Amino acid sequence: ETSPSVVFENIEKCSPNCLRLLLENISGLTVDEDFTVEVIPEINAAVATFIKSIDTEEFVKKCLQHKRIREFKMTARVLELTQSIKAENLPDSLSPDYLTVY
């Protein structure tokens, strides 16, 4: 199974709106309808998550070949699927069953 999310790194030269337009242009899809974009400024990255089913590996290849992506020196890769989640600083009163549900 392939992740529906793609990570873009080194995005400092590309505004969030510019990135959204680029991704719409490359994918032929519409932001908010077909995919979402979460910008993570602390690590100079963004994650595009596709609601509509696409081949994310092929999309990454298209991105890496795109003139603007190369000009901005951004990188793109498929986000690894998560196998586990670590929850920290939970109150002692929290029921393990409650945690399992979430």
pLDDT at 86 > cutoff 90: no
CATH number (domain holding residue 24)? 3.30.70
Number of domains the chain contains? 1
Amino acid identity for residue 55 in this structure: D
Q: 39-70 pLDDT, tens per residue?
A: 999 999 999 999 999 999 999 999 999 999 99
Per the prediction, the chain carries an average pLDDT of: 93
pLDDT at 20: 97
* Angle value at C-alpha 88, between 102 and 37, nearest 5 degrees: 65
Range of the domain at 33: 5-78
Residue 33 lies in a domain: yes
| Arithmetic mean of pLDDT, 3-32 | 96
pLDDT at 63: 97
Specify whether the CB–CB gap between 8 and 45 falls below 8 A: yes
Provide the whole-model pTM: 0.79
DSSP 27-76: HS--BTTTEEEEEEGGGTEEEEEESS---HHHHHHHHHH-HHHHHTT-EE
